[in-house]
Structure formats: structure tokens, C-alpha cells
Amino acid sequence: MTKIGSGLKDQAAETLRQARTFDRIKRHYEGLGLCGPCAAQAAWGHQIGFSQSKAPCEDCQPIVDGFPVAKPNGWRSNSPRRGVEFSPWIRREKAASEPLERES
């Protein structure tokens, strides 16, 4: 892996997968109403930790306050992975101790 930047000797360059994940999470937060810079900080927080991110701006803080999971530095998280509800078939399967046959 290629090393980047002076003063960042121990950090490797971002991978394509990391870049795509960052962009996906940033778009998710923009869709929830955050401004571009705050959406980027939220995506950054998911990748390196919210204690490393800048706090949300005054306009975005009320939106962030409505997110379900408390994080450091004034953040709350609304991860895309938490927002998707299982299909009824999967919910029934998870609730039962033995797998169910799929309905048509």
C-alpha cells in the first residue's frame, strides 16, 4: 500500500472500498437532511470514530439530536445498516428456533 502525506507516515492511502463506503454513508446522511460538510463528518465518524470528527453545525445539530444512537463529540448515529427492516419472512425465521419454508 502507498503511504500518503508528510506527517502521516503510518497511514496508508484510502482504498477504493473505503472511498465507496465513505461516499455511500455521506449520501445517506445528506438524504436525512445534513449539510454536505456535516454529512462528510458523519461518514468520517463511522470510519475512524466520532471522537475524531468535528461536531455538527448549528443548523444540523437538531437533526442529529433525533438520531437513535449516542456517539461522542455531539453526534448521534443513524447508520444505514440500522435503518433497514427485515422482510416478514426473515423476521419469522429469526423468531423461530428452526428455519421456516419460504412462502410464495
DSSP state of 69: E
Please give the model's pTM, rounded to 2 decimal places. Answer: 0.65
Backbone phi, psi, residue 98, to 5°: -115, 150
Using an 8 Å Cβ cutoff, are 44 and 66 in contact?
no
Low-confidence ranges of the chain (pLDDT < 70): 1-13, 80-104
User: How does pLDDT run across 36-57, given as a tens digit for each residue?
Assistant: 999 999 998 988 888 888 999 9
* Domain boundaries, given as residue ranges, for the chain: 16-95
CA 12, CA 8: separation in Å to the nearest integer? 8
Distance of CA 58 to the CA centre of its chain: 20
